[in-house]
A and B are shown apart, each in its own frame.
Chain A
């Protein structure tokens, strides 16, 4: 009961977050210069007639006051209608639907890879010799600080241009997802493994670990059977960060690897001032964030019931 109440409250907050995101994005897009009617008609090299311009303004309600446009917009979003893309001339939901699987696939594979890598590194290096720890920690810091496109480019040069093991990009079969997924994974793995190791090191100093060791348990078993369970909490905590980083980074990864996806969709939409698409992607991202946080919350109370009372 308490859990249900909690979920209900979080959902309410989630709706608030969505409304806030939609409003902020709407305001930002309307504050920046650039006439959407001209954008719809193809940019600075187009030769639309005045008549066509007026037709577009009428059709998209661009001659209404901003507040009217905003209320119209909220009304439509509330009924699940995200409008029509100015540039692609298809419903925003269709435009997103067309790209979302590609991005989700990439994010899922990247997240799994990153978590497995981070866990392995953390398990192998927690409370080990100082030089090994500093070496690995150094690599992690460098990875976390390296821009995604540099990582991606390095992978491209080695595995695609030189060794020709993987295709340069596109969405052509499983092999085309390897390099982009690795790029995304490497861009977050440094941060992730540092957090995990810190958690593991704290756990490894707990009395129950000492008890286990005195019972004659081998080091590897202690780490995997006892300590690892506690590392799950920070992993769950960081899933919000993971999702945000992977979604945000998808713009770069997708452009570099010529992949379809929400990142490319958003980037093009921002350049072209394709307002409905930008707002659609923003609302979607906020929605994903809300859902993930809700799931994290529920997962907490399942893993450790004490969290709920906190």
Chain B
């Protein structure tokens, strides 16, 4: 982070210097920074070559839920709002907004002079068409539609003013609008050729899609007339590099080596096992940021045995030395986590830290209390002759989810038999929605504390509707806190409610938190001016340039 910050200081100072408005102290900070050599200013032109671990298969922001969209979306799309460096809501395609006192009507005042790359202007109608496109069942939106679920209707007040009506007060709305998955498509393309949006999305961002070869590469070229970057970017003009070429390199070893050998300038998903090597390499910059939302958690299915018994859940959590697990799988680059909300998330409550502890003696005591007192020939606990077994399905890949393997070893020490089942993605999806599992591990990223509603409110249990409450947690106290929290406007009330919700979750133990959800990437030092979108957090290339 430190390296990046100083790069940012260098960029901004160089821009200021070029504009002949710089002050002495700012210049001084450039000279003192490690990137002082770049004080000559941004270089125009060139191609930024990036490798990524996977591509979403479709580039229409509204039609996918893939992680990679966080990064890819920032190249192609603009969003209505954005989060600034401190994670606060800031203007982007909307200059400002008014919220009615009851929290259900949002009046957006839109930025003028913005166009999509097909020439269509950005205006109230364009915004409206996008909101409708997200929730249209024909879009088959797996994510965006859910994010704007309370959206009821909207009214065009004038060319640049849209009044949006929500079914109930929903403070996460502005945060969701800042996410890559809610980027704005050209209304002309949505209306005239929706079937082409996956392969040829048309947006208003700093780059335009040039070519897209599935599973292989995505190429973007810059828009010369782009002047509407968000204010935190400190670079509102068009991008410095002419092109961005993205190649899918699935194998982590190959991704690391091709970065080092200079075949690519930057890699997304820098393999943690190579972190030490990257950090030791003076030519490379390593970024290790924490994503907001849910950390990596092994969720317990609380609707059936053995995890319907809170003592077993508590015992499971106490049995695992998450510190050791995290160190081992993150090769020292992951931060250990002991609660259900990622640290950078708004209203994260520090007072929850240390409440879930590694305590094997407690684990054994709790399991005894829960009646798992017998032992079988292999040393696993039994009750009424039945072994204490928990099934944890996971997606089939080249290797088994390392977290599960480690946890399996940890809980074996107190007599729990955690069985890992590797399944093809489609089967895993079906098991997930059928609730046919005992434990399910993973991360869930979003830029608002409303992730707690998405993950733990009883209305998000799959069955009545497709939800992400993988723990099948149903607790009236928690439900009430979470509903009131999402309805409360940003401020003290929301902070208090989210703090209470976090403490309630620690009492309910819906899962075993292990480590933070990390966003790791690395690039060559000759790439300057990369900024970070705090919503995800991923690199933004609008102000980036390649030093000769």
Contacts and interface: CB of A to CB of B under 8 A. Distances in A.
Contacts of A273: 424-427
Interface stretch (B125-133, B280-288, B463-471, B487-495): B463-471
Interface stretch (B111-119, B243-251, B399-407): B243-251
Interface in B204-221: 213-217
Interface stretch (B138-146, B340-348, B353-361, B497-505): B138-146
A169 interface: yes
Interface stretch (A5-13, A20-28, A48-56, A129-137): A48-56
Contacts of A160: 257, 261
Interface in A30-55: 32-36, 38-55
B376 interface: no
A46 B147 CA distance: 11
B379 interface: no
Nearest to A52: B137
A75 to B, nearest CB: 23
Interface residues of A, number: 54
B454 interface: yes
B258 interface: yes
A70 B315 CA distance: 50
Interface stretch (B56-64, B152-160, B538-546): B56-64
B428 interface: yes
B87 interface: no
A12 B151 CA distance: 58
A160 B258 CA distance: 9
B217 A50 contact: no
A49 B145 contact: yes
A45 B63 contact: no
Nearest to A275: B426
Contacts of A270: 424
Contacts of A42: 64-66, 142-143
Contact of A260 (B213, B254, B431): B213
Given A43-B425, A47-B143, A265-B214, A168 B58 contact: no
Nearest to A34: B426
Contact of A38 (B51, B430, B454): B430
A52 B215 CA distance: 26
B274 interface: no
Given A87-B58, A256-B251, A264-B215, A49 B466 contact: yes
Contacts of A33: 426-427, 430-431
A264 B141 CA distance: 25
B97 interface: no
Interface stretch (A88-96, A105-113, A207-215): A88-96
Contacts of B106: none
Interface in B256-291: 257-258, 261, 263
B141 A52 contact: yes
A272 interface: yes
A39 B429 contact: yes
A167 interface: yes
Interface residues of B, number: 54
A194 to B, nearest CB: 31
Contacts of A49: 137, 145-146, 149, 465-466
A45 B294 CA distance: 12
Interface string A110-145: 000000000000000000000000000000000000
A293 interface: no
B292 to A, nearest CB: 15
Contacts of B428: 43-44
A265 B247 CA distance: 15
A87 B429 CA distance: 14
Contact of B250 (A87, A102, A255): A255
Contacts of B249: 168-170, 258
A99 interface: yes
B58 A88 contact: yes
B216 A259 contact: yes
Contacts of B444: 45
Interface in A225-275: 255-260, 264-265, 268, 270-273
| Most chain A beta-carbon neighbours within 10 Å: one of B66, B137, B442 | B137
Given A255-B250, A264-B215, A265-B215, A167 B263 contact: yes
Interface in B404-440: 424-433, 440
B254 A256 contact: yes
A88 B57 contact: yes
Interface string B36-69: 0000000000000001000001100001111000
A76 interface: no
A127 B194 CA distance: 67
Contact of B138 (A44, A55, A164, A256): A55
B71 interface: no
Nearest to A264: B215
Contacts of A161: 257, 261
B468 A99 contact: no
Interface string A161-185: 1001001111100000000000000
Query: Which of B426, B429, B454, B467 neighbours the largest number of chain A CB atoms within 10 Å of its CB?
Result: B426
A271 B215 contact: no
Contacts of A53: 466
A171 B425 contact: no
Nearest to B440: A44
A48 B214 contact: no
Given A52-B141, A265-B214, A168 B258 contact: yes
A202 interface: no
A192 interface: no
B198 interface: yes
A219 interface: no
A98 interface: yes
A32 B429 CA distance: 13
Nearest to A102: B216
B323 interface: no
B87 to A, nearest CB: 23
Given A47-B466, A169-B249, A32 B65 contact: no
A45 B442 contact: yes
Given A168-B249, A169-B249, A268-B215, A87 B257 contact: no
Given A47-B145, A48-B142, 16 more contacts: A33-B426, A34-B429, A34-B430, A35-B426, A35-B429, A41-B140, A45-B442, A47-B466, A47-B468, A88-B198, A89-B195, A170-B216, A170-B247, A255-B250, A259-B216, A271-B424
Interface of B: 51, 57-58, 63-66, 137-138, 140-143, 145-146, 149, 195, 198-199, 213-217, 247-251, 254, 257-258, 261, 263, 395-396, 424-433, 440, 442, 444, 454, 465-468
The 7 closest A-B pairs by CB, nearest first: A34-B426, A273-B426, A46-B142, A260-B216, A42-B142, A47-B146, A55-B137
10 contacts: A40-B140, A49-B145, A52-B142, A56-B140, A88-B214, A160-B257, A164-B261, A168-B254, A169-B249, A258-B249
